[in-house]
Amino acid sequence: MMRRHPIRKMIEKRKKGIFCALPSYCSANELVIEAIMEEAGRNDDFVLIEATANQVNQYGGYTGMQASDFVTYINQIAEKVNFDKDRIVLGGDHLGPLTWSGEMEETAMEKADCLVRSFVKAGFSKIHLDTSMRLGSDDADSWPDTDKIAERGVRLYQACEETYREVQKTNPQAVKPIYVIGSEVPIPGGGQDQEGEIKVTSPADFEETIQAYTKAFERHGITDAWDHIAAVVVQPGVEFSDSGVCRYDRVKAHELCRAVKKYPDLVMEGHSTDYQGAKLLREMAEDGVGILKVGPALTFSLREALFSLHKIEKEVLPFGKKDSDFINVLEKTMLEKSDNWKKHYHGNEQELFLARKYSFSDRCRYYLGEPPVKEAINLLFDNLDETGIPLNMLCQYLPIQYKRVRDGIVRNEARALAKDAVVNIMYDYEYATKENWQIEYR
């Protein structure tokens, strides 16, 4: 018997009045993924891990991985931490012509077609179809209308369905993809140009998206598409900038949430929910945001822990022993390869210097896997494990992890401490999405 998709199970529970939602973890960082799987393993839970079209595509993306490579990568981490691979749900985020938006429609859509097919063939079962961007052949002075966006989305939906039928021939038990449509969000990874109030998706815009897709499916003779669409991406009023966070306000989102309730088989998917805090995330889930996506906050917390561990290392390392120099190695690597931050950070030299380290948009996450940085992290861990981390210094630099070490929950080892900083973010999402989750505010 074919397995029910966890997202469909979540929606069925909500329809019965059982509170639940799902966190979606968007990261390709090895330490982050290890932490996610280890925490899920402790709770006998499954995990939803997503990759964006910029991270992973048929040309390698910024990770250098195609969709099948990403699956292998995730499975290798699961094996390493002894996590059941059947409990992993993989999602593809912003799948469409985003990466090739400067090209003519037919070329960009051909590449997008290849992209979505590669994700479905590789086993990704949550597919966000995003065709909301302007392409090179579109009018430069206006945004594509909703009908055109929907028509392009339906083309990609058909490609996914066709690929799934091909997969079924060799794997009859393959989980049928669940689809997400819409894209009322900034570019993947979050971040706004300047702090300010974020406009919540209007009920009219939400309805327009639903109706445009309904008409497009009808034009193509597709009668069962809505049985396989689980969510619509909306902007519920959350976002973050380099140094600020636009917090969720359920009063401002009330009209949108009421409009979505007319479609009990759909939930909202919220992007850029990073840095919201447990109580606000819980309110979002209660109000109908059934899928809460988080990415930069995970690596931001990891980076915080690595910086703190480096500060401990500098103080406890015996004279004459080589320091990892992690913070400086990261800065040097970011300066040498500036493509992943230069267009996103603005200001004078001091402002750029601070943004590279501390921005909430966390562009330094793109560099944690670079060979010099990875080597520095490994040396940092080795040095601290050899010298040991005094509890009093752990209390000074990582006070949350200190309490968890003191209480016997976390090992006083550098790698475990770094991963626990990621778990600390997960706690907010577990509290927000699970009916009886208890959380200790730290």
Which tops the pLDDT comparison, 57 or 194?
Answer: 57
> For 160-176, how does the pLDDT look when each residue is reduced to its tens digit (9 = 90+)?
999 999 999 999 999 99
Residue 135 has pLDDT above 80, yes or no: yes
| Residue 299 pLDDT class (50, 70, 90 cuts) | very high
pLDDT score for 401: 98
pLDDT score for 196: 57
Residue 338 has pLDDT above 60, yes or no: yes
The model's pTM is 0.95
| Residue 436 pLDDT class (50, 70, 90 cuts) | confident
CA distances from 99 to 55, 107, 374, 404 (A): 10, 12, 27, 42
Percent share of the chain, pLDDT over 70: 95
Mean pLDDT in residue range 282-302: 98
pLDDT score for 67: 98
* CB 137, CB 84: distance < 8 Å: no
Closest CA to 68 of 122, 121, 126: 122
Mean pLDDT in residue range 58-75: 97
Contacts of 250 (CB under 8 A, 6+ apart): 257, 283, 284, 287
pLDDT score for 441: 42
> For 190-230, how does the pLDDT look when each residue is reduced to its tens digit (9 = 90+)?
444 444 578 999 999 999 999 999 999 999 999 999 999 99
Strands 239-240 and 245-246 come out as antiparallel
* CB 381, CB 416: distance < 8 Å: no
pLDDT score for 192: 46
pLDDT score for 349: 97
Mean pLDDT in residue range 132-158: 95
* CB 98, CB 54: distance < 8 Å: yes
Residue 428 has pLDDT above 90, yes or no: yes
Question: Mean pLDDT score of the chain, rounded to an integer?
Answer: 94
Residue 351 has pLDDT above 90, yes or no: yes
> For 1-38, how does the pLDDT look when each residue is reduced to its tens digit (9 = 90+)?
347 899 999 999 999 999 999 999 999 999 999 999 99
> For 183-201, how does the pLDDT look when each residue is reduced to its tens digit (9 = 90+)?
875 445 444 444 457 899 9
Residue 257 has pLDDT above 70, yes or no: yes
